[in-house]
């Protein structure tokens, strides 16, 4: 299993390099993690979060799934969010999509892929919500990329609508939710300008009143 040998060889070199750079690195890593940012991103292999934003181990809490979807009843994603907000007390939640997302593209098509089609149905629903805007875009790539942006917007909203985020705001805990998108063409992140920091920014329908 040559690939496994390469992984372990690289790992030994990496660990040695970290110690050479900072002799106390692994002592610090053994202590409590203190990430200030929860990254919710796509599972796509081309988007390693720490590498893209220049953060060391211990500095980013991460949840990834196909097409960076935040589903209201996904206990996996919600548990990550709850732990990040309540226990780690992160200051920022970033939903990061990417142009050219295969999951988003598949949601615009009709080719059966298996179980994943049920997951991608959430993105199809966003496509249906913005149908008029999307069908007005002739170019298929541009249309899919626009849906990538609309998906980020929806997932930022879904994060904000959770009891987890709204409870944090009610406690007066500072917490910002951001929507970013990554371009595989140039390696650059773009802020979609969706930052939400207070319940007043949410539609009344989703806002929970103070008890």
The set of catalytic residues is 42, 44, 46, 98, 101
Stretch that binds Co ion, among 77-85, 94-102, 110-118, 156-164 (CB under 5 A): 94-102
Site string for Co ion, 46-85 (x = CB under 5 A): ----------------------------------------
Per-position DSSP letters for 36-102, written without gaps between them: SEEEEEE--TT--HHHHHT--TTS-EEEEETT----TT-HHHHHHHHIIIIIS--SEEEEEEETT-H
Between 42 and 107, CB nearer to Co ion: 42
Least spacing, CB of residue 102 vs Co ion, in Å: 6
| 192 lines the binding site for Co ion (CB under 5 A) | no
Can residue 42 be called a binding residue for Co ion (CB under 5 A)? Answer: yes
- Taking 3-state DSSP, the helix, strand and coil percentages for the chain, each rounded to the nearest 5, stand at 50, 15, 35
- Choice between 53 and 66, CB closer to Co ion: 66
CB–CB of 65/43 below 8 Å? yes
Among 44, 122, 148, 196, binds Co ion (CB under 5 A): 44
Which listed range, 20-28, 38-46, 54-62, 169-177, lies at the site for Co ion (CB under 5 A)?
38-46
Q: Is residue 182 a contact partner of residue 189, using CB atoms and an 8 Å limit?
A: yes
Based on the shown chain and the rule CB under 5 A, indicate whether residue 145 belongs to the binding site for Co ion: no
Q: Does 101 bind Co ion (CB under 5 A)?
A: yes
Rounded-to-integer distance, Cα 187 and Cα 12, Å: 28
Tell me the H-state helices in 97-139: 102-108, 116-129, 131-135
Binding residues for Co ion, rule: CB under 5 A, are: 42, 44, 101, 103
């Amino acid at each position: 299993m040559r690939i496994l040998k390469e992984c372990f060889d690289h790992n030994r070199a990496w660990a040695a390099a970290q110690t050479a750079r900072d002799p106390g690195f692994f002592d610090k890593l053994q202590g409590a993690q203190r990430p200030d940012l929860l990254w919710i991103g796509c599972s796509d292999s081309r988007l390693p979060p720490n590498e893209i934003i220049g953060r060391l181990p211990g500095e980013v809490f991460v949840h990834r799934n196909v097409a960076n979807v935040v589903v209201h009843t996904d206990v996996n994603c919600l548990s990550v969010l709850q732990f990040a907000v309540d226990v780690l007390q992160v200051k920022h939640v970033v939903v990061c999509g990417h142009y050219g997302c295969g999951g988003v593209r598949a949601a615009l098509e009709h080719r059966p892929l298996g179980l994943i089609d049920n997951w991608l149905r959430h993105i199809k629903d966003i496509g249906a919500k913005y149908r008029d805007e999307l069908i007005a875009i002739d170019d298929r790539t541009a249309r899919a990329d626009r849906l990538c942006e609309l998906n980020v917007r929806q997932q930022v909203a879904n994060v904000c609508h959770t009891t987890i985020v709204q409870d944090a705001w009610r406690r007066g805990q500072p917490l910002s939710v951001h929507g970013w998108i990554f371009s595989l063409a140039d390696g650059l992140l773009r802020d979609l300008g969706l930052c939400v920091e207070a319940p007043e920014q949410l539609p009344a329908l989703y806002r929970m009143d103070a008890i």
